[in-house]
């Protein structure tokens, strides 16, 4: 149960992550804003309530791991990492630039990035490997969080890994499905249906928690539930809205890989409650 | 004397597993045919089988390696490299993780199982990945030393092991196997025969026949296609002026490709390849297949005569 203050702080952090996403993709004039915005609350709760890390020791072996398997949401991850103190804020202005630290998709040369991602369908396998390695080396406190897109679930290896996690009883592993119902070419229901999604995961042996992915309280409670589950991995199916928080992106799958124009950026920042422009911080 | 690779790999995994105490072995339902079951029996806590799921196996291996443990992923060459190629590229090689892909069943010497199980592109595709070391053993006697070498070398690597029983070239205790170091098995000044895998033995047989015909062939067991032993290669080029490569692999991008790339840049002497001529093989007994597809000592001998002829009175010093 979050206190009112915690709840407020996590909601503000989600808003801050959204602001960074809009500013970063606008400045870079490339990237995936919609799929980044849908995981703002998930990242806020992960990095500012749930995950154990020390930004000064990003390689500490006993840290929890976060894998952004839907690596195209990198701007949101970078926003969370910068707020967590892993690297200087100035790097956000050089997203995807040849002089910058921040690659288009997450890579391990970036402090705080635990696993390279960007090619869809691979993160859950790596999560299984980390959970197995933690068990082998008696680091039982290490927890592993893997953020998957719902479109990403089209990839076969996700389900190979889903079998593996259940087979090895990897209860330190939490998969989070960002169920924003859109993928590159359109609605997931039209491109490659995944329903009944909860039943699929259940039948694979997972503990399934379904939540509103934009409610920080529900996100936090889902992670609590996962921590209490012994012998089975947990999947949090988080219903979200692609482009959540800014109006121009809602229900616009055609903007999956489109950076905001200056007008869209200014409008979005106003909607998020930030009146100032990006260079005024 | 003939030896088999299965026993050699099982033994190697157990031995290297005792030397490297945090070594983990990942496999995909082939623990009997790779004999990684012997590692499992000895070190059950450090063994993971993910079932018939090679793409997942590589991701799992990458996750384990990212935790700081060295990992061997072992399966057949086709399914260890070609099925999970992208996983190896993006999850292992790009982050430079300590995952060693050690594959049995490399080449058409797989035999009876046929084309779907005969990897003849694996060296080319592994070599194409930035920073990936690529090695091959020439006989069962080299297996332990080769496994030890790739495990001790930091970063991603591919080690290819044939399937068919092979002539023993090395006494195991005498092998020193280092990445980037070729082994000279025979001295000669007229031509150099460079082999990997089972074709090293064929190179030695070819050299015998050539010797009887008055051509003295140097024989190199190249061992690592990447990094190449540039010193040994340049010496072979400048001192013998003619090279034949031999591999149980397609003619594109493997040992022949690597040697040709080097020679064109540094010492463009006459060179020929013995390899599959851009074709799939078929089912059949290993020896019969190798003969049918031209992977033989006779073919190497014939190509050696061609390059020696082409070399003619070329003044190597003027081009190298």
> How many CA atoms are closer than 13 Å to the CA of A160, on its beta-carbon side?
23
Q: Across the interface, do A161 and B56 touch by the CB < 8 Å criterion?
A: yes
Are the C-beta atoms of A255 and A268 separated by less than 8 Å?
no
Report the residue from A130, A137, A157 with minimal CB separation from B56: A157
pLDDT band at A281 (very low <50, low <70, confident <90, very high): very low
Nearest to B55 among A123, A129, A160 (CB): A160
B74: left (phi over 0), alpha (psi -120 to 50) or beta: beta
Q: B51, A132: Cβ pair inside 8 Å?
A: no
DSSP state of A48: I
DSSP-assigned letters across all residues of B143-155: HHHHHHHHHHS-S
Q: Is residue B298 pLDDT above 90, yes or no?
A: yes
When pLDDT is cut at 50, 70 and 90, the band that residue A277 belongs to is low
Pairwise CB contact (< 8 Å): B62 & A129: yes
Ranges of each domain in chain A: 4-280
Q: Which residue has the higher pLDDT, B37 or B171?
A: B37
**Chain B residues inside the 8 Å CB shell of A136:** 24, 45-46, 64, 69
CATH of A4-280, one of 3.30.70.270, 3.40.710.10, 3.90.79.10, 3.40.50.970: 3.40.50.970
**Which H helix or E strand runs over B274?**
strand B271-276
Mutation target among B62, B63, B83, B97 for the A interface, most CBs of A within 10 A: B63
- Name residue A68's beta-bridge partners: A147
Q: How many Å apart are CA A91 and CA A13, to the nearest integer?
A: 18
pLDDT score of A251 = 78
Distance, CA of B141 to CA of B138 (rounded, Å):
8
Residue A280 is predicted with a pLDDT of 47
Q: What are phi and psi of A237, to 5 degrees?
A: -90, 105
Ramachandran angles phi, psi of B35, nearest 5°: 60, 20
Given this chain, do its domains B2-173 and B183-312 carry the same CATH topology? Answer: yes
Strand partners, B192: B218, B243
CATH of B2-173, one of 3.40.50.11720, 3.40.50.300, 3.90.950.10, 3.40.50.970: 3.40.50.970
Here the contacts of A104-109 (C-beta below 8 Å, separation 24 or greater) are: A104/A30, A104/A31, A104/A74, A105/A71, A105/A72, A105/A74, A106/A68, A106/A71, A106/A74, A106/A77, A107/B94, A107/B95, A108/B66, A108/B95
| pLDDT of amino acid A279 | 52
Closest CA to B259 of B298, B233, B289, B220: B233
Please indicate whether, in this complex, the C-beta atoms of A136 and B87 are within 8 angstroms of each other. no
- The per-residue pLDDT for range A218-237, each reduced to its tens digit, is 999 999 999 999 999 999 99
Give the ipTM of the model, two decimals please: 0.96
Task: Give CATH for domain B183-312.
Answer: 3.40.50.920
- Out of A123, A127, A132, the one facing B48 most closely (by C-beta) is A132
Q: How far apart are CA B227 and CA B246, in angstroms?
A: 17
pTM of the model: 0.96
């Amino acid at each position: 149960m979050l206190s009112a203050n915690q709840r407020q702080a996590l909601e503000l952090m989600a808003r801050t992550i959204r602001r960074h996403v809009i500013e970063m993709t606008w400045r870079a004039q490339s990237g995936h804003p919609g799929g980044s915005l849908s995981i703002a609350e998930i990242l806020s709760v992960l990095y500012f309530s749930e995950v154990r890390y020390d930004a000064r020791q990003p390689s500490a072996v006993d840290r929890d791991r976060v894998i952004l398997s839907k690596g195209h949401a990198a701007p949101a991850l970078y926003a969370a990492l910068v707020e967590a103190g892993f690297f200087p804020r100035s790097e956000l202005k050089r997203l995807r630039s040849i002089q910058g630290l921040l690659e288009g998709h997450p890579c391990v040369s970036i402090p705080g990035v635990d696993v390279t991602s960007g090619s869809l369908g691979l993160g859950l396998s790596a999560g299984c490997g980390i959970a197995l390695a933690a068990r082998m080396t008696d680091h039982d406190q290490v927890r592993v969080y893997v953020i998957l897109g719902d479109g990403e679930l089209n990839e076969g290896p996700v389900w190979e890994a889903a079998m593996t996690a259940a087979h090895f009883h990897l209860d330190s592993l939490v998969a989070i499905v960002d169920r924003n119902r859109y993928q590159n070419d359109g609605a997931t229901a039209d491109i490659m249906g995944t329903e009944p999604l909860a039943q699929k995961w259940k039948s694979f042996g997972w503990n399934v928690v379904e939540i509103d992915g934009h409610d920080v309280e529900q996100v936090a409670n889902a992670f609590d539930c996962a921590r209490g589950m012994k012998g089975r991995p947990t999947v949090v199916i988080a219903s979200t809205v692609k482009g959540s928080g800014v109006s121009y992106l809602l229900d616009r799958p055609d903007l999956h890989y489109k950076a905001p124009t200056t007008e869209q950026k200014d409008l979005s920042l106003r909607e998020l409650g930030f009146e100032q422009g990006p260079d005024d911080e | 004397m003939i030896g088999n690779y299965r026993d050699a790999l099982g033994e190697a995994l157990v031995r290297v597993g005792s030397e490297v105490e945090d070594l983990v072995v990942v496999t995909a339902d082939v623990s009997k045919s790779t004999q990684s079951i012997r590692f499992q029996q000895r070190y059950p806590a450090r063994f993971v089988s993910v079932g018939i799921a090679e793409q997942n196996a590589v991701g799992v291996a990458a996750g384990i390696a990212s935790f700081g443990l060295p990992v061997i992923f072992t399966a057949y060459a086709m399914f260890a490299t070609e099925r999970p190629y992208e996983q190896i590229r993006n999850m292992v090689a790009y982050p430079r993780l300590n995952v060693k892909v050690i594959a049995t069943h490399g080449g058409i010497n797989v035999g009876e199982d046929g084309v779907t199980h005969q990897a003849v592109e694996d060296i080319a595709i592994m070599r194409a990945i930035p920073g990936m070391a690529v090695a091959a053993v020439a006989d069962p006697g080299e297996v332990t030393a080769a496994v030890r070498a790739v495990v001790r070398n930091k970063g991603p690597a591919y080690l290819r092991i044939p399937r068919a029983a092979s002539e023993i070239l090395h006494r195991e205790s005498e092998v020193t196997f280092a990445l980037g170091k070729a082994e000279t098995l025979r001295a000669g000044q007229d031509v150099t025969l460079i082999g990997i895998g089972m074709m090293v033995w064929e190179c030695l047989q070819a050299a015998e026949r050539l010797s009887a015909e008055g051509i003295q062939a140097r024989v190199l067991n190249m061992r690592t296609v990447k990094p190449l032993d540039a010193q040994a290669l340049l010496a072979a080029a400048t001192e013998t002026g003619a090279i034949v490569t031999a591999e149980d692999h397609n003619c594109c991008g493997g040992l022949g490709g690597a040697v040709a790339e080097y020679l064109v840049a540094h010492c463009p002497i006459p060179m020929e390849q013995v390899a599959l001529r851009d074709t799939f093989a078929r089912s059949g007994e290993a020896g019969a297949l190798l003969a049918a597809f031209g992977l033989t000592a006779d073919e190497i001998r014939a190509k050696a005569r061609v390059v020696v002829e082409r070399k003619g009175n070329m003044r190597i010093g003027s081009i190298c």
